[in-house]
Every structure is written in structure tokens, then in C-alpha cells.
Amino acid sequence: MKLRSLLIAGALVATAAMAAELTQFSPEKSQITFVSKQMGVSVDGRFKKFDARITVDPAKPETGKVQLDIDLASIDAGSSDADNEVRGKNWFNTTVFPKATFVSSQVRVVGGGRYEALGKLTIKGTTRDIAAPFAVKTEAGGAWFDGSLTLNRLQFKIGEGAWADTSTVADEVQVKFKIFVTGEVVPNAAKK
């Protein structure tokens, strides 16, 4: 049967495409947001510019690799006052340390569809080993890697001097990421 063999061939191609490694990070769809606590009040923020080099098979995330670079000056910390403040010396000191990076080539299977990317996070000249838990969700054309983790800002000297007081701005900052990776070469992303 012609139709049947076509369907089988189609299914095989689809399966092959599913199993293929995704390598094209989508900066338009991906998001990195965070929630800080100021005087007991949650304040939302995000980074507008970041880039990632990712190689991952959504069916086998444990073989994935990632290098994420976040442009710290692209921060939206909730208000223009706060944006200017956190770019400064006491916080990220973006003129000296423009980028935060996360490099991981080891992914642990947690079970139940959950994974942990183990790697090194560098912010403001301090590098620490962290585990970023995430889940995978495939979608037409690619896959989402979503997760969140809590960072202690003072471990990276984010907020020095008077800002080190955690009764005003809490030490814990909840960071959330939604990274979309496709298999296709997106013309814009390809140039980077």
C-alpha cells in the first residue's frame, strides 16, 4: 500500500526529528525572571537580554550541554530607580562585570520527568556550583526547558554596604527560567 508506507515513512521521519538534538536557542520566546523580597513584599524583575549555547535532545536531556550568558545591564528590577541602582558598584557592578554565566555539561535525572543541570554560575567574579532543576516540554518545532531555583544574593556579593542588610532586601532571590530551543536555524539567531 502506497499510503501506508508513506505514513510509516512520515512517522519515522517525525521520530527521527524528535530524537534529534536541538541547538537553536530562541531569545524571543525564552525568559529569565526573578522575584526579590523587599520589606516582605515580592517584587518581580527580569533580564531582557541573554544568550545561550545549548545542545540538547529533549528525549534525553541528561546528555545536554548549556552555556548561558546574561547581560546584567539589561535588568528590569521593577522601577527605573532600582534598575540604575542595581547596575551600580554595590550590586552587579555591570561596568566591571557585564555578564553572569552559567555553564553546565552534566544533567542529573531526578525522576518523574524532572532533571537538574549541574554547573558553575559566575556572577560578579564569584563562581559557585549550583543545581538548576528543570522540566522538559516538547512543542511543535522545539522544546521548553522550564525551572526555578533560589539563589542567595550575598554569596555573590550582590548588594553590598548598607544593602547587605537582609531585613530590607531578603538574601533569597527566586530565579525562574523558561528556555525555548528549536532544531531549526532561525535566521536572526544564526548570526549571533
Give the footprint of another protein on this chain (CB under 8 A). 38-44, 78-79, 81-82, 84-85, 162-163, 165, 168-169
Nearer to another protein, 38 or 155 (CB): 38
Tell me whether residue 92 or residue 144 sits nearer to another protein (CB atom): 92
Nearer to another protein, 46 or 114 (CB): 46
Could you tell me if 185 and 173 are in contact, meaning their C-beta atoms sit under 8 angstroms apart? no
Q: How far is the CB of 84 from another protein (least distance, A)?
A: 8
Contact 119, 106 (CB under 8 A): yes
- Indicate the residue among 81 and 129 with the shorter CB distance to another protein: 81
**Nearer Cβ to another protein (91/115):** 91
CB of 175 to another protein, least distance (A): 18
In angstroms, give the least distance from the CB of 68 to another protein: 26
Backbone angles phi, psi at 77, to 5 degrees: -95, 10
Least distance in angstroms from the C-beta of 165 to another protein: 5
CA distances from 139 to 18, 23, 54, 70 (A): 10, 15, 17, 25
According to DSSP, the residues that pair with 179 across neighbouring strands are: 145
- Strands annotated E in the chain: 24-25, 31-38, 41-47, 50-57, 60-71, 75-76, 99-111, 114-123, 126-139, 142-152, 172-182
Q: How far is the CB of 94 from another protein (least distance, A)?
A: 16
